[in-house]
């Protein structure tokens, strides 16, 4: 009952100034719409650029780091200064192999961890692709192609052949489209492959893929694990990397210590491996976030202004309300309520309005592997925008409302 | 008939500090009785309005003590005072001060809605009965800003009456009304005080109006110079 009379007064104030109410609400509408649009844009573009990273790189990579040889000091652990003979050292990479010990068990252990969606063993081999006199250097990834496909969706980049034939064809190879063009070959042709350790193998092209990264298309190939091991002159237990994907890419860094403890090898997450890209998304986020907050603040000032004006016009009314038994808190409630109603109308319209630019942009065709502009209406962002909008309007209403609550009716009546 | 005290003060004093220290009220002690039509008169600057605002509980910066219905008012918190005003005191001001966006009926109903003692339907009924008493029923649904001064004053009186307050305080209730409307307001006050048993404390400079009331307290230079006992 008590509340309802406050609501009634607030509503009457708003309805008797429909235009002002609408203008203030529209300010919020534009603010919220821009906020949602900008943030959807940031999210869409970031998601696209992250996905581009994840086409080639896993969320986490387990590998053996090169070890540097330790300087030898003449018999003393505290160095040459302590009296031993000074020994000139020349630090070099000291490990003889990048092999992960017992990779199959490691792979199983990793796969059984909670939160990990996929893991695949990789053997990376540097090599030359040759066809007659033409030679192209590149990198072959020896993988279980089905596991790798689960991680990187290689299938979606295939333009010729079938990646499954890699399973059935022992000397099969999937080549990037750039290599195919340079070597002037086609599907089912044979090429020679020479590895960095001098092993030569005759391979059959069973598939051709095209990512949008020229450098990948010009160098990369997929072969079976066994082939890669043979190319490096190693046995069937030789694995150089384990690629790991987790459910939420953003949480990948938190898996680093876990996997490091589990495997004992170096673990690198994608954010470390792609610092520039991560920094890029951060900058985009800050920039667009800043702009959207600025717009939101302008909208809040609109509400603040209109309420301030209303209160100045209604000093008499406030004095009367206080004289007839409304407390300062009631007065605050009335004006905050007015702000919240304007904010609510504005927010609802704003969420609706934000659909316009997001859907319009989502229908713009960019081409390449992007396809349509990577933006869509994000309900979570709309919700966040709505909550922020309401908080901001609350503040914009509360400040002038407090002023109204402090109005001394006597000062008004004595005039 | 035993006289029942509804409001009394004890040695109320009030200073103004701006622009210079100045004692506006000094040693004001008096009682107001149930069903009494009391007027406060005095020359301009005698402190009669200042006193009324202290009695109204809106001014809390004074010396001495104020009691309404035997309860001590001095020193209570603002929110409590708002509640006390809502329940016990009705106001009629010189410049009627209605809420312009609301209909007359709503203006009358608002203090009762705030009090929350009755349902909306009951309050509406009560508001209509006040309007009937003041012969204003046909104006009920008009916006307050569309009425003439005398009509607005009557709406303000109806609003003051809605919660059946013990005391109705008026600051120059007839200050800007013509003779005819003044007479109407006076008759209404008489009726309220004598038939409904509510106390009226009115500040006025209209000596005819004061003379016709039950009792007149005269102030001069912040002191009571006549209690006007009848």
Q: What is the CATH number of the domain that holds B159?
A: 3.40.50.300
CB proximity A329 to B under 8 Å: yes
Out of A12, A316, A325, the one facing B86 most closely (by C-beta) is A325
Three-class SS of A64-130: CCCCECCCCCCCCCCCHHHCCCCCCCCCCECCCCCCCCCHHHHHHHHHCCCCEEEEEEEEEEEEEEE
- Structural domain includes residue B148: yes
Residue A1 pLDDT > 50, yes or no?
A: no
* pLDDT of res. A75: 53
Out of A5, A8, A326, the one facing B82 most closely (by C-beta) is A326
Task: Enumerate chain B positions whose Cβ falls within 8 A of a Cβ in A.
Answer: 49, 53, 56, 58-59, 78-79, 82-87, 91, 93, 97-102, 106, 110-111, 113-116, 159, 171
- Structural domain includes residue B150: yes
Q: What is the mean pLDDT of residues A360-377?
A: 79
- Structural domain includes residue B195: yes
Burial class (CB in 10 A: 0-12, 13-18, 19+), B148: exposed
Q: Which of A341-350, B81-90, B147-156 has the highest mean pLDDT?
A: A341-350
CB B98, CB B155: distance < 8 Å: yes
Contacts of A2 in chain B (CB under 8 A): 114, 116
* pLDDT of res. A79: 47
Q: What is the mean pLDDT of residues A29-55?
A: 84
Q: What CA–CA distance (Å, rounded) separates A157 from A163?
A: 10
Tell me how far the alpha carbon of residue B82 is from its chain's centroid: 15
* pLDDT of res. A74: 55
Q: Where are the domains of chain A?
A: 2-53+277-413, 60-66+94-273
H-run or E-run covering B39: strand B37-42
Residue B175 pLDDT > 60, yes or no?
A: yes
CA of B165: which chain A residue's CA is closest? A324
Residue B193 pLDDT > 50, yes or no?
A: yes
- Structural domain includes residue B25: no
Partners of B59 in the beta sheet? none
Q: What is the mean pLDDT of residues A16-34?
A: 85
Task: For residue A316, give the nearest of B99, B77, B191 by alpha carbon.
Answer: B99
At A124-168, the pLDDT tens digits run 889 999 988 888 899 999 888 888 888 888 888 888 888 888 888
Q: Which domain holds residue B220?
A: 34-62+77-226
- Structural domain includes residue B20: no
């Amino acid at each position: 009952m008590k509340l309802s009379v406050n609501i009634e007064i607030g509503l009457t104030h708003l309805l008797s100034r429909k235009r002002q109410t609408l203008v203030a609400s529209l300010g919020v509408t534009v603010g919220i719409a821009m906020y949602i649009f900008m943030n959807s844009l940031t999210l869409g573009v970031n998601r696209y650029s992250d996905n581009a990273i994840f086409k080639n790189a896993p969320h986490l990579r387990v590998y053996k780091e090169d070890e540097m040889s330790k300087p030898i000091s003449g018999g003393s652990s505290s160095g040459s200064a302590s009296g031993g003979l000074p020994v000139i050292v020349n630090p070099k990479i000291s490990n003889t192999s990048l092999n992960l010990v017992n990779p199959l068990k490691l792979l199983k252990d990793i796969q059984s961890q909670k939160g990990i969606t996929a893991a695949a063993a990789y053997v990376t081999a540097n090599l030359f692709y040759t066809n007659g006199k033409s030679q192209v250097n590149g990198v072959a990834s020896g993988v279980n192609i089905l596991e790798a496909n689960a991680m990187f969706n290689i299938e979606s980049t295939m333009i010729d052949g079938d990646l499954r034939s890699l399973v059935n064809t022992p000397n099969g190879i999937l080549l990037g489209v750039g290599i195919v063009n340079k070597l002037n070959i086609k599907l089912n042709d044979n090429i020679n492959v020479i590895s960095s350790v001098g092993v030569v193998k005759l391979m059959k092209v069973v598939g051709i893929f095209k990512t949008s990264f020229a450098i990948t298309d010009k160098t990369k190939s997929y072969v079976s694990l066994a082939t890669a091991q043979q190319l490096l002159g190693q046995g069937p237990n030789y694995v150089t990397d384990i690629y790991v994907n987790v459910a939420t890419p953003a949480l990948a860094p938190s898996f680093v210590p876990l996997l490091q403890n589990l495997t004992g090898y170096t673990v690198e997450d994608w954010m470390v491996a792609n610092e520039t890209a991560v920094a890029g998304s951060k900058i985009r986020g800050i920039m667009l976030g800043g702009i959207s907050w600025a717009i939101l603040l302008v909208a809040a000032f609109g509400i603040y202004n209109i309420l301030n004006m209303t209160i100045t016009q209604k000093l008499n009314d406030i004095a009367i309300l206080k004289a007839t038994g409304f407390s300062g808190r009631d007065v605050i409630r009335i004006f905050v309520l007015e702000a919240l109603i304007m904010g609510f109308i504005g927010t609802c319209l704003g969420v609706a309005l934000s659909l316009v630019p997001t859907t319009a942009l989502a229908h713009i065709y960019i081409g390449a592997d992007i396809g349509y502009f990577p933006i869509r209406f994000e309900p979570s962002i709309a919700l966040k925008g709505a909550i922020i909008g309401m908080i901001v309007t609350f503040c914009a209403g509360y400040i002038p409302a407090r002023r109204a609550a402090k109005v001394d009716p006597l000062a008004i009546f004595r005039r | 008939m035993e006289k029942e005290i509804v409001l009394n003060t004890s040695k109320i004093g009030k200073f103004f500090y701006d622009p210079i220290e100045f004692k506006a009220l000094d040693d004001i002690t008096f009682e107001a009785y149930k069903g009494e039509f009391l007027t406060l008169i005095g020359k301009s600057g005698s402190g009669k309005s200042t006193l009324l605002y202290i009695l109204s509980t809106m001014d809390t910066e004074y010396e001495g003590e104020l009691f309404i219905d035997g309860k001590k008012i001095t020193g209570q918190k603002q929110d409590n005072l708002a509640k006390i005003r809502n329940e016990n005191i009705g106001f009629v001001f010189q410049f009627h001060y209605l809420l312009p966006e609301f209909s007359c009926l709503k203006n009358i109903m608002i203090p009762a809605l705030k009090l929350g003692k009755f349902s909306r339907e009951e309050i509406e009924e009560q508001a209509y009965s006040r309007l009937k008493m003041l012969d204003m029923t046909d104006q009920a649904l008009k916006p307050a800003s569309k009425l003439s001064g005398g009509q607005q004053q009557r709406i303000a009186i109806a609003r003051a009456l809605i919660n059946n307050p013990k005391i109705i305080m008026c600051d120059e209730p007839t200050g800007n009304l013509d003779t005819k409307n003044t007479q109407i307001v006076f008759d209404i006050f008489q009726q309220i005080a004598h038939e409904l048993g509510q106390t009226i404390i009115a500040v006025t400079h209209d000596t005819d109006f004061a003379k016709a009331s039950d009792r007149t307290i005269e102030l001069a230079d912040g002191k009571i110079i006549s209690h006007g006992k009848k």
